[in-house]
Structure 1
Amino acid sequence: MTGDNNETSMNKKDDIKRLASEIKNDIISKRRYLHQNPELSFQEYNTSAFIKDSLNALGITWEPIVGTGVVATIQGRYDSDQVVAARADMDALPVSEKTDLSYISLNDGVMHACGHDVHVSSLLGVAEILTKLDNNFSGTVKLIFQPAEEILPGGAMRVIQENALDNPKVNAMIGQHVMPSIPTGKVGIKPGEFMASMDEIRIKISGRGGHGAEPHKNSDPIVAASAVILALQQVVSRLNNPNTPSVLSFGKVQANGSINIIPDEVLIEGTFRTVDEQWRNEACKRIESIVHSVAEGYGCQSVIDIRKGYPSLHNDITLTKRIKELMRDYLGAENIIDLPVWMASEDFAYYARVTDACFYALGVGYEGTENPSLHNPLFDINEDSIELGIGLMTYLILSLLNK
């Protein structure tokens, strides 16, 4: 019996690799179309229509979800209560593309700078391979094309609220994200805590402005804001357990004064990230306390708004170890990279809170060169990675269904 199972698995793997190679060019064409026509979060109308048309051409049943989202269901030939879901996010970023690609974005100021065009086209490739395999598997596959990963509160929570993971209930869920720092042909994975939570911080320091030559008559919010930013660094450097990854960064400071004008207020915006939910809540309270006390010490008032974002992303350990074994089988152990904690955030984290889930990284970089990072106006991928992306995800889905 064991030998038969191994032979069946080998045949399945070979079939998937052959089909992934056969449809690669068509999926690349789909990716290029999506790249040329990016749409912002919750505005993915053309993207949604393209997905539906592609699924219709394959004869796959789908339902709309969360406005522009789509959930496709593919039923295997054989009865089983196993249900595996795979997710692709659809939205682009408000970034002006600066590449010289022949398929550069046609929408001014909007770009697929985070690879969601790859995610969508890859999942369409998975759908095509499953149909070409004649649905010759047990159980059910759900393909979730999710809008609005890039802005809070994100689309994942609404997908869950609209019961897309139910009827039938999903047993396991996977997702992949392009990673330019990993060479094409390799993938990265990490069991347990993988990605950080993300909270948005907005601070307003109000004082009394006036002439720069008479600071003693003012309550200078610029000096107070500078002290606040410096004081807040102790949240990570002194209050945090060094074993818990945490990042507190401020990327915007706005003071509309002049060379000789002290303004009335300063606006500060930043983000706090960590992988420990208990520390996350405590840190936000400490941030508020420090802001208020430091501003008051400088004779200023403060208002702080901390908008809670995505939680930390926890890859189910048992599922992720199983997926790593399957990756070794499909790719070879030499092509699997053990990843550290990634301090970016992802609303895939919400799925991992309600079902066993694994989020992994697909290498899309060019070997031996410095590849532009995600969210960069020069970002692009090695399109040879798409063949691996669609083949591996199909293999993982079918292997998990037939466990």
Structure 2
Amino acid sequence: MSVSGEEAMALGELAERWTEGIDAALPAAVALRHELHANPDVSGQEEPTARRVMAALGGLDAETVAGTGRLVRLGPPGPSIGLRAELDALPVAELTGSPFASTVRTPPAMHACGHDVHLAGLFAVLQAARRLKLPLGLIGLLQPREEVGPTGAADVVAGDHLVHHQVRALVAAHVQPQVPAGRVASDAGPVNAAVDEIEIVVSGRGGHGAYPHLAVDPVPALCRIVLALSETARSTVNPLHASVVSITQISGSAAPNVIPGTAAAAGTIRLMHETDRPLLHERLARTVTSIAEAHGCTGKYEVRRGEPALVNDATLAGLTRGWLDEFRVPTASFASCGSDDFATYGSQVPILMQFVGTGYDHASGPMLHDPSFLPGDEVVRQVAVALLAGWLGAASVTSPSS
């Protein structure tokens, strides 16, 4: 159900006051960003980060979700619209030289994916909303374990939190170095890939490197399999559908003069279209077993299913771009074979992932997960405005009585 003209006018007035509140909250939001960046917590250990955010919000009640996460609700009872930010950092040793660089060194941790910026942006939106009369509920979701499985999004969905709070849509914003600085991508359709982890194990018969004729060496078979996987994907998946096979780990014997009994490889498969998943895995498995058999070995192909493709709701994306225009935020188009567990929420509600440009040259500047990645503090406001535009876009099609 869409809102009336009168309700749309009210949303416009609300947007103006909300952005003023965000600007007023920015000094505290930037200070929070610095505190979070200096004190990162890796996946599954985010309780201190959640407490820091809640302390900054000062006096707001929160539910504990997914173990170390928090859910904050503002506004009236009934239907609501959710905004998500991630709590976890990465096990990376920071190399930015920033005055607020990570103090966690053993083992290392760093906000190398911008989650500190996302949390600060969400803080600014929530802090500003406390002084407003909202027509719909506002859910602030501080989600743990975005970087590793089992993911926090899966736990939030399994816990029925979205159902309990009558969440009608969920919005997120992620910093992105491949989007020009100051621009926001809010595109409809697939914007991130489904990702599955794969492992290949080839078994033969081990032996001494001096006597290969007395062994059945699995290493040549594994090498040929690794080279064949990308060709299998190329000939299986529609060339208009993105697909990426990345083999990133290979192991054999522990000594240079030993032919191993088994050799293994592991990596990921990324696809933008869910319908390509079953057939590709079937053909990759056949490639593994047939090449291994041709070398006198046996081959095993195992899959650990990950997140689905992240598909932005078309209506929500279009309305959000309208609000970005109202806020004079220039837009861009962006999609990648990266993955995000935010896609999991799409099984329950319409979702929208936006990408906030940080403007690095992706050919030479640091990318996400790089120890030198450090968006500027000005991006905190840009994330906050993108989240607000998403909330207003969802509110434009959500009635308080729906």
Aligned to 1:143: 140
Write the distance in 1 (CA, Å) between the matches of 2:179 and 2:336: 13
Is 1:32 aligned to 2:26, yes or no?
A: no
Structure 2 equivalent of residue 105 of structure 1: 102
1:337-379 C-alpha deviation (Å, 9 max, x unpaired): 022x310111111111211111110122358995310011111
* Residue 336 in structure 1 maps to residue 335 in structure 2: no
Structure 1 residue 402 displacement after superposition: 5.2
Deviation for aligned residue 1:114 = 0.9
CA distance in 1, matches of 2:195, 2:72: 30
1:380 partnered with 2:377: no
Cα drift, residue 17 of structure 1 = 3.2
Separation of aligned partners in 2, 1:247 and 1:399: 33
**Contact 1:178–1:363 (Cα < 8 Å) also in 2:** yes
1:167 deviates by 2.4
Residue 227 in 1 paired to residue 229 in 2? Answer: no
Contact 1:41 1:91 in 2 (8 A): yes
* Whole-Å separation in 2 of the counterparts to 1:247 and 1:143: 34
Identify if the C-alpha distance between structure 1 residues 221 and 147 changes in structure 2 by more than 3 Å, giving closer, same or farther: same
Q: Is the 8 A contact 1:365 1:382 kept in 2?
A: no
Shift of 1:387: 1.4
- Alpha-carbon shift at residue 29 of structure 1 (Å): 1.1
Deviations 1:78-127 (A, max 9, x none): x7x54111111111111111211111111122111111111112111111
Match of 2:354 among 342, 360, 371: 360
What does 1:43-62 align with in structure 2 at a 5 Å threshold? 43-55=45-57, 57=58, 59-62=59-62
- Is the 8 Å Cα contact of residues 255 and 265 (structure 1) preserved in structure 2? yes
TM-score using structure 1 length: 0.91
Give per-residue Cα distances to partners, 1:116-144, cap 9 Å, x unaligned: 111112111111010133xx221211111
CA contact 1:365–1:381 (8 Å) conserved in 2: no
Corresponding residue SS for 1:98:
coil
Aligned residue number for residue 125 of structure 1: 124
SS class of match (1:208): coil
Q: What is the total number of aligned residue pairs between the two structures?
A: 393
2:71 maps to 1:71:
yes
**Residue identity in the other structure for 2:342:** F
Aligned residues of 1:149 and 1:156 also touching (Cα < 8 A):
yes
Amino acid at match of 1:15: R
In structure 1, the gaps of 5 or more residues are none
Answer whether contact 1:13 1:330 (CA < 8 A) is retained: no
Does residue 239 of structure 1 match 2:236?
yes
Unaligned 5+ segments in structure 2 are 398-402
What displacement does 1:177 show?
0.7
Say which SS state the counterpart of residue 161 (structure 2) adopts: coil
Identity of aligned residues (%): 30
**C-alpha deviation, 1:233, in angstroms:** 1.9
Map 1:283-298 onto structure 2 (within 5 A): 283-298=280-295
Q: CA deviation at 1:303?
A: 2.8
Q: Is the 8 A contact 2:192 2:339 kept in 1?
A: yes
Match of 2:264 in 1: 267
- Which residue identity is paired with 2:129? L
SS of residue matched to 2:182: coil
Instruction: Compute the TM-score of the two structures, normalised by the length of structure 2.
Output: 0.91
The DSSP-based 3-state class of the residue aligned with 1:248 is strand
Distance 2:373 2:396 in 1: 37
Shift of the 140–39 alpha-carbon distance from structure 1 to 2, 3 Å rule, reads: same
Deviation per residue, 1:207-249 (Å, 9 max, x gap) = 2232333322221111011111122222222122111111111
Which residue identity lines up with residue 150 of structure 1 in the other structure?
Answer: E
* Preserved contact between residue 11 and residue 392 of structure 2 (Cα < 8 Å): no
Output the CA distance in 1 between the equivalents of 2:206 and 2:260. Answer: 5
Task: Report the residue type matching 2:349 in the other structure.
Answer: T
Q: 1:4 to 1:239 in 2, by over 3 A?
A: closer
Q: Structure 2 vs 1, CA of residues 95 and 367 (structure 1 numbering), >3 Å: closer, same or farther?
A: closer
Matches of 1:197 and 1:115, distance apart in 2: 21
Q: Which moved more, 1:393-402 or 1:214-223?
A: 393-402
Q: Secondary structure at the match of 1:153?
A: coil
C-alpha separation in 1, matches of 2:362 and 2:272: 31
Q: d(CA) in 1 for partners of 2:389 and 2:309?
A: 27
Per the alignment, in what secondary structure is the counterpart of residue 175 of structure 1? strand
Q: How big is each residue's C-alpha offset from its partner over 1:184-213, in whole Å with a ceiling of 9 and x where there is no partner?
A: 321112201111100001112122232333
Change (3 A) 1:42 1:211: same
Return closer, same or farther for 1:367/1:307 CA change in 2, 3 Å cut-off: closer
Partner of 2:340: 346
The one-letter amino acid paired with 1:73 is: R
The 10-residue stretch of structure 1 (287-296 or 367-376) with the greater mean CA deviation from structure 2: 367-376
Task: Please name the residue that 1:400 is paired with.
Answer: 394
Amino acid in the other structure paired with 1:225: L
Query: 1:17 is matched with which residue?
Result: 19
- Aligned residues: CA RMSD: 2.3
In structure 2, distance between residues paired with 1:378 and 1:398 = 34
Which of 260-269 and 198-207 deviates more? 260-269
Retained in 2: the 8 A contact 1:137–1:398?
A: no
